[in-house]
Amino acid sequence: MSEKLDPKFPLRRPYKKPEMERVSLRPEEAVLGNCKSMAAAGPGGSSSCMSVGPCFTQGS
Amino acid sequence: MQPEADLRRQKRERCAADTLTLRVGDVGVRIRSDDPHMKLYVQGAAESFLVSNGAADVEVTAAWGKLCQPANTSFVFDSGGLWRLSRELENHVFHLTSPMYGTLPYKRATFSPDFTCGEVLLERSYFDPRGPVDALEYPLDELLMMNLLAHGRGVEVHACGLEDTDGQGYLFLGHSGAGKTTTARLWQKAGGVRVLSDDRIILRSWAGATWMYGTPWHGEARLALPARTPLRQIFFLRHGNANEIVPLGGGEALARFLACSFVPFYSRSGLDFALAFFHQLIDSVPCAELRFVPEERAVELARVYAA
């Protein structure tokens, strides 16, 4: 016997268990907290960035 | 032969002015110095975004000031790096420091609640008294733009954006190391392509379409064009063992957009706007993950998928 579909109850999609996916966020990049390049942020431009640590942690 | 630093200084002095207007993402920012002893300039790719006329959405003045440690200030946000944000009355105040100079700010920028009016004070002792200054130097220029966009204008994303030979725009999002600059170079090799940026793209919606804009904040390839193009296809980049495209559902695409965007995390209304913007964008432009190996076949695959 073939089943007739009731238009009031359309065919349901099969149940799929929800899945959690982790999306990585890089806060140091997202908040513009670091030098973007070797030649940025601060008086002296590149010269100041060449000599300090955080500028090498580029936020590009 | 003249040392490079001297040549740079001479170039800066040639371009120096009392007033400059930058136009990025169709947002005009005018900066003005009222001090006869302070001339202004912009450096690097930002030079291409200078305009000689046109209306400005934002007016900023620059002046020398005697800056001190912000006393008894409770900060709204601390970037953990170059800047902190506080509020004075309704105004936003950015305190910029450099590891080179310790905790004393070299710059203090105050903006009106909607960021359309501002004042930048620079600590004179930190700057070369002989030359002009880049008062909106990174990260202030990008922070200002991020906040302006969050007031209903658009969103800046961590992405490479390019215009293909048929005039349609492709957006490739990803964190540092995901392959944005590699992608830009691959498409350039394919020929006839205009790369708007290899690192930062502004997205705005108007006239029934979403537009991508180049920005001055480029990546390793230094690609930064003051131009726009309509957006046709969105890819989230991932290095793979083979070239493959996997369509993304709305929820996943939204989460990834948020992770690859520059939004004011301290502003509830700004975040609400960004989420609504991305929601609408995902409904209107196809989103997929592009797993790729750095070869020209990745370009062809993306074109065929988007067609």
Percent of chain B with pLDDT over 90: 86
Does residue A1 register a pLDDT over 70? no
Query: In this predicted model, what pLDDT tens digit does every residue of B156-176 receive, in sequence order?
Result: 999 999 999 999 999 999 999
Residue A41 banded pLDDT, cuts 50, 70, 90: low
CA distances from B230 to A41, B7, B208 (A): 32, 39, 10
What's the pTM value of the predicted model, to 2 decimals?
0.89
CB distance B228 to B180 below 8 Å: no
Query: In this predicted model, what pLDDT tens digit does every residue of B188-211 receive, in sequence order?
Result: 999 899 999 999 999 999 999 999
What is the average pLDDT value for chain B, to the nearest integer?
94
- Which residues in A lie closer than 8 A to residue B105 (C-beta atoms)? none
Do the chains contact at B79 and A55, CB–CB below 8 Å? no
Query: In this predicted model, what pLDDT tens digit does every residue of B255-282 receive, in sequence order?
Result: 999 999 999 999 999 999 999 999 999 9
ipTM given for this complex: 0.84
Distance from CA of A16 to the nearest CA of B (A): 14
Length of chain B, in residues: 307
Mean pLDDT of B136-156: 97
Distance from CA of B301 to the nearest CA of A (A): 25
| Cβ within 8 Å of residue B254, ≥6 positions away | B275, B278, B279, B282
Spatial distance between the Cα atoms of B213 and A51, rounded to a whole number of angstroms? 33
Residue A23 banded pLDDT, cuts 50, 70, 90: confident
Do the chains contact at B99 and A34, CB–CB below 8 Å? no
Mean pLDDT of B143-150: 98
The residue behind tokens 């990745």 is: B298
Do the chains contact at B138 and A41, CB–CB below 8 Å? yes
Spatial distance between the Cα atoms of B99 and B57, rounded to a whole number of angstroms? 32
Distance from CA of B307 to the nearest CA of A (A): 28
Does residue B115 register a pLDDT over 50? yes
Q: For residues A24 and B120, which has the higher predicted lDDT (pLDDT)?
A: B120
Best probe of the A interface among B67, B76, B85, B98, by most A CBs < 10 A, is: B98
Spatial distance between the Cα atoms of A23 and A32, rounded to a whole number of angstroms? 19
- Which residues in B lie closer than 8 A to residue A31 (C-beta atoms)? 77, 79-81, 265
Q: By the CB < 8 Å criterion, does B198 face chain A?
A: no
Spatial distance between the Cα atoms of B40 and B32, rounded to a whole number of angstroms? 8
Structure tokens at B22: 């930058």
The residue behind tokens 């409770």 is: B74
The pLDDT of residue B68: 87
- Which residues in A lie closer than 8 A to residue B258 (C-beta atoms)? 23, 25
Mean pLDDT of A37-49: 50
Do the chains contact at B128 and A29, CB–CB below 8 Å? no
Does residue B228 register a pLDDT over 50? yes
- Which residues in B lie closer than 8 A to residue A36 (C-beta atoms)? 138-139, 142, 217
CA distances from A9 to A1, A3, A16 (A): 19, 13, 19
CB distance B185 to B221 below 8 Å: yes
